[in-house]
Amino acid sequence: MAVTEAERGAMTRALALAANGPRGINPQVGAVILSPAGEVLAEGWHRGAGTPHAEVDALSKLAPGQAAGATAVVTLEPCNHTGRTGPCAQALIDAGVSRVVYAVDDPGDASSGGGDRLRAAGVEVVAGEQADASRHLIADWLTVQRLNRPHVTVKWAQSLDGRAAASDGSSQWITGPEARADVHRRRAEADAIVVGTGTVLADDPALTARDGQALYARQPIPVVIGSRPTPPGAAVHRHPHAPLFYDTRDLTAVLADLRDRGVQRVFIEGGPTIASAFVAAGCADTVLAYIAPVLLGGDRLALTDIGVSSIGDAVRLQVDEWLPVGVDLLAIARPATDPAAGKEGS
């Protein structure tokens, strides 16, 4: 079923509204209610755990009966379960909405099925409108729901010829100040920042997120993976959060424990060894490659062995954005075949 121009515009608006909500254990969701003539009647978004969902937030702004025959445009399939709030699918049915257009299917075992519930009540349902944009907005939440582990961003900085350091091991600074500031801003958006013990011993990083000389209000939890001990005087011990240490090479176990601790967004900040391990394990949901216009040569590659023995085994990426950052270039990419991506259709 085709969407109307009014519904398409409403979805664009709903996505903008969704971005107002906090990133956390619940997805960012926006909703717009349209009259039968395509005029906006109400808007809403989800403001965090325990607050009304986007559809209910929008409906709450209407008088009783005002939503009869209306269309609800929502960035995520209306939920179908009772948690801290009731099922949004039923709220739309009770309000008399006759059509629902949504972007992405809800992957939750308990919360999914809202579309089917609406159809069973005689509501016309269209799925998949601007699904890619919605998936991008809630990518970390979708990863947690579908793969039962945190969303992993693997970051590295490299020279134009793919090196992470010069032959003597020096790497500060390959990229310019604008790129480094961009990294710190993205660190502040993560729940945890991960390095290997090699990086701790070689660079003694603080693993904080800094805005210039000041710390961002939101700091990721520092995580160190590896068997070598971290010195008692290491900078990571002065982090605002107590660091977590994992003496294991089992990345699945590490991610499972972080998930149990409520971590949803993991930022891999270590060197080539730890970055390569996450890529090889298929646990790189987003890749941030900062590319500096310098040439280093040598064998200090940004990635080492990731299990690719022939070109047919190459890890294929889809670049979502090429972003100039000062004199450097940032490639923001994700796996071409995304195990956390659902299949929405109309």
Which residue in the block uniquely carries the two structure tokens 């590319």?
291
Per residue, what are the HEC states of 177-218? HHHHHHHHHHHHHCCEEEEEHHHHHHHCCCCCCEECCEECCC
Q: Please report the beta strands in 9-98, taking only residues with DSSP state E, as ranges in sequence order.
A: 30-34, 40-45, 71-76
Which residue in the block uniquely carries the two structure tokens 């982090």?
239
Residue positions forming the annotated binding site for Zn(2+)? 53, 79, 88
Distance, first Cα to last Cα, the chain: 6
Name the β-bridge partners of 72: 33, 100
Helices (H), the chain: 5-18, 54-59, 88-95, 114-120, 131-137, 139-147, 177-189, 197-203, 251-260, 272-280
Nearest-10 Cα torsion for 148, 76, 45, 133: 90
Whole-Å CA distances, 144 to 181, 201, 301: 28, 31, 31
Q: φ and ψ at 140, to 5 degrees? A: -65, -45
Q: Which of 7, 43, 55, 129 is catalytic?
A: 55
Residue positions forming the annotated binding site for substrate? 171, 187, 203, 207, 210, 269
Which residue in the block uniquely carries the two structure tokens 């992993």?
152
Residues 239/207, Cβ–Cβ less than 8 Å: yes
Residues 300/174, Cβ–Cβ less than 8 Å: no
Q: Which of 301, 296, 300, 288 is nearest to 329 (CA)?
A: 288
86 CB-contact burial (10 Å; exposed 0-12 / middle 13-18 / buried 19+): middle
Residue positions forming the annotated binding site for NADP(+)? 157, 173, 199, 227, 271-277
The length of the chain, given as a count of residues:
346
Any catalytic annotation for residue 77?
no
Q: Which residues are catalytic?
A: 55
